[in-house]
Amino acid sequence: AAIFEALILYVQKYEDAFGPYLGQFVESSWTLLTAIGPEIKYDILVSKALQFLTSVTKINQYAQSFNNQEILGQVVEKVILPNLSLRESDVEMFEDEPIEFIRRDLEGSDSDTRRRAATDFLRQLVEQFEKLVTDVVSQYISHYLADYEKGKSDNWKSKDTAVYLFTSIAAKGVPTAARGVQTTNPNVDVIDFFQKNIAVDLTSADTEAILKVDAIKYLYLFRSQLTQDQWQAAFPLLVQCLGNENYVVHSYAAIAVERVLYMTDDKRQPIIPRETLQSLSKDLLQHLFLLMTKDSKAEKIQENEFLIKCVMRVLIVIREGVLPILDMVLTNLINIVKVIRHNPSNPRFYYYHFESIGAVVRFAAPTQAAKLEAALYDPFAEILANDVQEFQPYVFQVFAALLEANPSGSLPEYYQSLLGPILTLDMYNSRGNVPALVRLLSSMIPRAVEQIVANNQLEPILVIFQKLISSKANESLGFDLLEAICGNIPIAALQNYLTTIVQLLMTRLSSSKTENFTIRFVRFYHFFSARDDKGLGPDLFINVTDQVQQNIFTPMYLQIILPDTQKLSRPFDRKTAVVSLTHTLANSQAFVDRYGKKGWGFTCEALLKLLINPPLPQTADDLIIEDRDVEDVGFGVGFTALNTCKPVPRDPFPEVQDVKQWVGLYLREADSKTGGRIA
């Protein structure tokens, strides 16, 4: 096997020098592959030999030795088929280690198996000689299908081979996680093959379990080849397979259902309409929960992440459709978290589990916040009290999403006991917790202003801000917290701390600024400047900077704030900047007294540049919950954001709709009030 690995490197790196000897090695490989037995101990050797032949076939010059119908027939019969056909060891793994069977098949960890290596070799031959290889292999497909028809119970492995062969020659390119196989061999018809040979295995009760898995996997791989109308017929068949008692069958059905539900058409609308899924959702979710909790042990419940991922996708697609079944869904999700918190063993499972809870919060919290808070607080408090570190960042995110769904009113009693602990500086030493903690604290501040001021908790919050802002890794989080503070804490309580806050920011600007820090500073300035209705505004900011260093605002404004304002990319940030600059032109006495027409001119120029490309309102499409790759979700200390709990951008000035029109009206009104000063 090591020799073949070296040969592959020679082919890939030193083709010119190695070329004259290639023929001998190909011949030796052929002799080895046709003589070696099927024993498991030879698997890696055989797979490496096949990988060597695949690497040779990628080079057109050397691939020509296979460009012959008779030779290709021998290659298929003597090399590909013996290694592609199902063996007893594969059947044993299917029966005895089902979750391992699924993971090897799905995640490509079967790269050193005979079957995967033979498939890769065959696909490379198809790439070189598409029509010829298709014709040769099609004869074998027909032969194996006919053999199956002679005795279905005894010859079911023949059909497995036929389906595998067809899939190998039909798929072109690498399947994507989002859409599966996107390009197919034009010499075959994948839909016709499905209708004639595959569909029956989805519906028949007598079909061998492995053939049923083959049928589900076929739909899973070629899902983007089916039209929306074809999916209307095929989707119920997949859902039906979730009821199969075989572990691999119902797991593959969950995998396929989840991916089909993720697919959208050209208009970003689900291939399976929300209304269709809504009618199935209660039974579908109940059955998925039942499959997960058949064995009540923590490690068994979270063994199969594919089931909980399907739950997550159903909840994301039905959106507010969860409301009629909210009690059932919440009860099951909470019961699962109560068990698995004792022994978190599968990071992917609990990631998708908390995404599922996040989906419920996102779509139910606007109308059912009290019910969700009452249901989730106790189990989540247990997680925090018992220091279940794997779950803490997720819990903080869900708590924050719950609060953000209803930002008005006082802080619910459930959260009041949390405020003290999350102000402990040591909590912010764990990298995995920091983003979620800052978000939770930022969402609590608007609803706990009186409590924070009365209990002298503003200073501990500012200490946390200081810690965050001193770190390049956490500087954005520091600004998030600062905006929550300045946007909600009354100016009377905040006044004494403003000079220190601005001094910290100016120190970073002068000593160790980053591009991100500068942009966030400019965004914060406009946030502050635009809010003269809260007692902030440009004049207060200028006054505070004077207390740090007299007249430092002038170079800061001309060299940093105005130039970098044009770099603001988010629509709401640009909108805030427009309001800020307009308020400066209309309301700032400091600009009149200090900077006169020159300062007014620079500000007006920056405002006009922003208005050339005015910020547009957020559309519904921008709020679609995207999928994410969770390959990196593990046992580490890093932070994993929940997509379903992603903060929804909020318009800071919803009363301003047509920005250009608003600027004109505001400046005209200010001009009349000041006796024509602006004009």
Residue 653 three-state SS: coil
> Residue 84 has which token pair?
């592609």
Residue 565 near residue 611, CB atoms below 8 Å: no
Task: List the structure tokens of 178.
Answer: 């989002």
Q: What is the rounded average pLDDT of the residues 69-95? A: 92
369-386: b or e for each residue (b if 16 or more CB lie within 10 Å)? Answer: beebbebbbebbeebbee
Which of helix, strand or coil describes residue 346?
A: coil
CB atoms closer than 10 angstroms to residue 186: 10
pLDDT of residue 173: 87
Residue-wise pLDDT for 226-262, tens only, equals: 999 999 999 999 999 999 999 999 999 999 999 999 9
Name 172's bridge partners. Answer: 183
pLDDT at residue 186 greater than cutoff 70: yes
Contacts of 96 (CB under 8 A, 6+ apart): none
Q: For tokens 């404004």, what's the residue?
A: 557
Centre a 10 Å sphere on the Cβ of residue 624 and count the other Cβ atoms it contains: 10
At 408, is the pLDDT very low, low, confident or very high (cuts 50, 70, 90)?
confident
Lowest pLDDT segment from 336-345, 477-486, 578-587, 609-618:
609-618
3-state secondary structure of 144: helix
As given in the structure block, the two tokens for residue 144 are 């194996």
Helix (H) or strand (E) holding 184: strand 183-184
- Per the listing, tokens 């032949």 go with 53
Token readout for 489 is 């804490």
Tell me which H or E stretch contains 226: none
Q: How far is Cα 590 from Cα 575, in angstroms, rounded to an integer?
A: 23
What local confidence, expressed as pLDDT, does residue 653 receive? 93
Give the Cα separation of 426 and 435 in Å (integer): 14
Dist. CA 205–CA 215, nearest whole Å:
13
Q: Would the pLDDT of 573 be above 70? A: yes
- Cα separation of 623 and 152, whole Å? 50
Mean pLDDT, residues 552-564: 93
Query: What own/partner pairs with CB < 8 Å and gap ≥ 24 does 8-11 have?
Result: 8/48, 8/51, 8/52, 8/55, 11/52, 11/55, 11/56, 11/59
Instruction: Give the CA dihedral 659, 663, 669, 675, nearest 10 degrees.
Output: 180
Amino acid letter for position 344: P
- Distant-in-sequence, close-in-space partners of 163: CB < 8 Å, separation ≥ 6: 197, 198, 211, 214, 215, 218
pLDDT 10s digits, 140-171: 999 999 999 999 999 999 999 999 999 999 99
3-state helix, strand, coil in the chain (%, to 5): 75, 0, 25
Residues 205, 422: Cα–Cα separation, whole Å: 56
Q: Indicate whether 293 pLDDT > 60.
A: yes
* SS3 assignment for 361-409: HHHHHHHHHHHHHHHHHHHHHHHHHCCCCCCHHHHHHHHHHHHHHCCCC
Rg (CA), the chain: 32
What is the structure's pLDDT at 620? Answer: 45
Write the CB contacts of 536 (distance below 8 Å, at least 6 apart in sequence): 486, 491, 528, 529
**Sequence spans of domains, the chain:** 2-172, 490-617+649-679
Cα–Cα distance measured from residue 297 to residue 286, given in angstroms and rounded to the nearest whole number: 19
Find out whether 444 and 411 touch, Cβ atoms under 8 Å: yes
pLDDT tens-digit map of 296-333:
999 999 999 999 999 999 999 999 999 999 999 999 99
pTM score, two decimals? 0.89
Sign of CA dihedral 245, 246, 251, 252: negative
pLDDT in tens, 460-499: 999 999 999 999 999 999 999 999 999 999 999 999 999 9
Return the number of other C-beta atoms located less than 10 Å from residue 179's C-beta.
14
Q: How far apart are the first and last CA of the chain?
A: 83
Q: DSSP characters for 238-304?
A: HHHHTT-SSHHHHHHHHHHHHHHHH-B-TTS-BSS-HHHHHHHHHHHHHHHHHHHTSS-SHHHHTS-
Whole-number Å distance between alpha carbons of 502 and 480: 15
Of 473, 442, 374, the residue nearest 414 (C-alpha): 374
